[in-house]
Structure 1
């Protein structure tokens, strides 16, 4: 067992720290905030572009795509240093972490140049069109259809919960191209510009943040999409979907651990019951970091362990939900007060740091849904870890 990093990793960390110290935008320019997860202020676009050009945006990527061919352990310390400063790579996280990554994995060289690089450089923003009114966690149940007509696909249907769609330039959209095939085998993926005729985007608020317009309903009515915008193979969308979600899963536990640690830092136990809950959450945090570190080490040795990611997803997301609930109870009625946001945060801080306790609690439910629900993760664990029958 080795609980420290090799010298090359620490040299990598030191170089990144020096970059941040020299280039991190100051408080005087970082006051403008995003209106949605696809709205990127100009100063943040410049910051993301600088990170891309310097090879620090996504260090695992090759230099032409904003990285420096970093190892997995180097990626970890890169995220660790960003977390210490509570800053984002990008204010368009799904564009950076899912859509551009999917284009680099499944797109043609022309698609990478035309779409992936502009997304990575914050020249355009992107949203993810997966969920539908009747197909949320069950992607295979989607009904938005695309029919091939010559050199185009004609798209009709509806998406929902599409974060940032009203501010995005393009949508990575999952569509049904073969209604006769088994559900998961008839899906394809199209990159659809949001200014295409027939695309309608309707933002709506969430229950935990009525003033925050990020979610969208998106309607497609006879939308014509060039066939060259097909990502991957026709009817090969299931593989793209698994790859898309996989891009956000490998180090997702680190995000959970950081958020849990911040919640614990603000937790103020009063009663004996509060102290018991606080102690349990500290143990959950330690368990999450230790299990995550072990999974990271296995992955660094090219040992694939998908069930471990499911365990980390359940543990991390549910620990945050429990911590948010316990903290809300511990502060009593004060926790129901909405924070005053007339003076927005001056740093590129994650949005939950400026939220009230009730809003933090409400937002915590998203973690047990997005990226595969806790129920789905438990099914994976039951079958692939415990060896239980599918029935």
Structure 2
């Protein structure tokens, strides 16, 4: 299936493609690998600043924030072009697409200039402090406390799975400011610099190896945060969180479709079982593209379809994981070889980060967890689309 857009949208795509043709850095200039999603080598900073200065970093934003007031459909073809070429617009994606975008939506003018613009211009990096040991997909269960003390909040608690926190300049952190309020009503959002006294980041390895130190435990021990670092109204953090994740989820299906398409292109089935699972993946890919395009049309009309996005998230993440598994099984020991060990590669290209078939399979588990687990998506679908009752025992 191929979508066709109006002339203004296709002109926008062509303009962006021409920019990439002219400005993509040579492979030899991009060989230093970012060590986390909040670490930017100098070449990555230069690339992001170039994107910002030409209005291609966040196209839907106004020029002063790295955009060109693009429409939703223009933004979609921009993402398509990035995915087609398999490149990043920023190597601090959480900082740009979630943290800075959230500050532009909820922050004061001072917060936008002090925190958001430096992240967009790659002068700073940022990470997202949401998940806790007892509050992963259920953000409303968070227990990290922030108590007002004069012109500061005093923060105590712990976050976990905080990507890139040890390399970030600050965290957009969700804390409980009213323990007596209903779970969704007593949460606030704070900007917390990572060099704050009492804040400790503890990087930890992942399933793909100890050299992949992106995830962190973050501990807050009487961390004092100026009241001016409160983002949005006090106790309105649930609204900020939903908007923050909305920045991530609205077109997330396109990333799943792209990764699934590349897994399909990289895998040749040989046994009947592999052929069957391969055919299922191809069907899933077409279904994901079709349903995602319908969701895009609804969003372009201004319709809210959060439950529909859960369907796309569930289908895309689980289809990716299924095909990554069969591709790994079919490859034998060769599945452990990283592209960096088998020929030239460039970190600007996303294939560098997907790595070996083992790494792709291992990382596919995060797709069914991050941004809301598959179990959470099924609950949303059951309640909001199928109309089934909430919870209940046997």
Q: Is the 8 A contact 1:145 1:156 kept in 2?
A: yes
Q: Is the 8 A contact 2:354 2:360 kept in 1?
A: no
* 1:328-357 Cα deviation digits (max 9, x unpaired): 12223432x242746773241225655211
Counterparts of 1:351 and 1:288 in 2: how far apart (Å)?
21
Which residue in 1 is equivalent to 2:375? 375
Which residue in 2 is equivalent to 1:112? 112
* 1:43-79 Cα deviation digits (max 9, x unpaired): 1111111111111111001111110110111011101
State whether structure 2 residue 66 is matched by structure 1 residue 66: yes
Segments of 4+ moved more than 6 angstroms: none
* 1:106-152 Cα deviation digits (max 9, x unpaired): 11111111111111111100011111111111111111111101110
* 1:299-343 Cα deviation digits (max 9, x unpaired): 1111111111010000000000101111112223432x2427467
Which residue in 1 is equivalent to 2:146? 146
Counterparts of 1:346 and 1:331 in 2: how far apart (Å)?
23
My pick for the range that moved more, 338-347 or 44-53, is: 338-347
Which residue in 2 is equivalent to 1:199? 199
Counterparts of 2:71 and 2:339 in 1: how far apart (Å)?
42
RMSD in angstroms over aligned alpha carbons? 1.6
Q: Is the 8 A contact 2:86 2:351 kept in 1?
A: no
Counterparts of 1:225 and 1:318 in 2: how far apart (Å)?
40
State whether structure 2 residue 381 is matched by structure 1 residue 385: no
Counterparts of 1:86 and 1:31 in 2: how far apart (Å)?
16
Alpha-carbon shift at residue 225 of structure 1 (Å): 0.5
My pick for the range that moved more, 210-219 or 337-346, is: 337-346
The total of aligned residue pairs comes to: 390
**Matches of residues 23-42 of structure 1 in structure 2 within 5 Å?**
23-42=23-42
Counterparts of 1:17 and 1:338 in 2: how far apart (Å)?
32
* 1:75-109 Cα deviation digits (max 9, x unpaired): 11101111121110111010011100110111111
Q: Is the 8 A contact 1:368 1:374 kept in 2?
A: yes
State whether structure 2 residue 90 is matched by structure 1 residue 90: yes
Alpha-carbon shift at residue 294 of structure 1 (Å): 0.6
* SS of equivalent residue, structure 1 residue 211: coil
Q: Is the 8 A contact 1:52 1:67 kept in 2?
A: yes
Which residue in 2 is equivalent to 1:217? 217
Which residue in 1 is equivalent to 2:251? 251
**Matches of residues 175-324 of structure 1 in structure 2 within 5 Å?**
175-324=175-324
* 1:171-195 Cα deviation digits (max 9, x unpaired): 1111111111111211111000111
Counterparts of 2:174 and 2:190 in 1: how far apart (Å)?
7
* 1:329-388 Cα deviation digits (max 9, x unpaired): 2223432x2427467732412256552112211111111111111111111111111111
* SS of equivalent residue, structure 2 residue 36: coil
State whether structure 2 residue 51 is matched by structure 1 residue 51: yes
Counterparts of 2:337 and 2:73 in 1: how far apart (Å)?
39
* SS of equivalent residue, structure 2 residue 222: strand
Counterparts of 1:176 and 1:270 in 2: how far apart (Å)?
54
Counterparts of 2:177 and 2:167 in 1: how far apart (Å)?
27
Q: Is the 8 A contact 1:352 1:360 kept in 2?
A: no
Counterparts of 2:362 and 2:320 in 1: how far apart (Å)?
11
Counterparts of 1:345 and 1:227 in 2: how far apart (Å)?
46
My pick for the range that moved more, 200-209 or 307-316, is: 200-209
Q: Is the 8 A contact 1:208 1:359 kept in 2?
A: yes
State whether structure 2 residue 132 is matched by structure 1 residue 161: no
Which residue in 1 is equivalent to 2:338? 339
